[in-house]
């Protein structure tokens, strides 16, 4: 595997379910990000991790809980979601300290909350 991978690619869950999204990067980067992409809206930053430490939480509701056990893996734990949380969730990584931080994106997880 190369680049940034995300699993699952598609997820349908009820509002009372608990599920997790997984992101893995094979690029040796030390910064990882979760973005939410909804129709007709700009990409919304959710969380940023630098060297496994959370450095930004963009006022995300507590029903979204991130976890970064190491620099290569990032999870987004979901519980008691709302239908408006249905969106494409994108993971990205970058290497801090190398000038312009080009971010590399995974293919996303298409989440549908029923």
Partner 1 sequence: AQSVTQLDSQVPVFEEAPVELRCNYSSSVSVYLFWYVQYPNQGLQLLLKYLSGSTLVKGINGFEAEFNKSQTSFHLRKPSVHISDTAEYFCAVSPPNQAGTALIFGKGTTLSVSS
Instruction: Return residues touching partner 1 (CB under 8 A).
Output: 4, 6, 30-31, 33, 35, 40-43, 45, 48-50, 55-56, 90, 92, 94, 96-97, 99-108
Output Rg (C-alpha) for the chain, integer angstroms: 13
78/109 with CB nearer partner 1 = 109
The candidate with the shortest Cα–Cα distance to 12, out of 113, 108, 102, 104, is 113
Residue 101 to residue 52: CA distance in whole angstroms: 17
42/69 with CB nearer partner 1 = 42
81/90 with CB nearer partner 1 = 90
Dihedral sign for Cα atoms in the order 56, 50, 67, 41: positive
């Amino acid at each position: 595997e190369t680049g940034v991978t995300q699993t699952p690619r598609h997820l349908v869950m009820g509002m009372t379910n608990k599920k997790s999204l997984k992101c893995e990067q094979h690029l040796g980067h030390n910064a990882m990000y979760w973005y939410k992409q909804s129709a007709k809206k700009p990409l919304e930053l959710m969380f940023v991790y630098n060297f496994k430490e959370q450095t930004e939480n963009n006022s995300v509701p507590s029903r979204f809980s991130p976890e970064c056990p190491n620099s290569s893996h990032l999870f987004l734990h979901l519980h008691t979601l709302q239908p408006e949380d249905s969106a494409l969730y994108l993971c990205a990584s970058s290497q801090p300290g190398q000038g312009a931080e080009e971010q590399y994106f995974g293919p996303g997880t298409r989440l549908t909350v029923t």
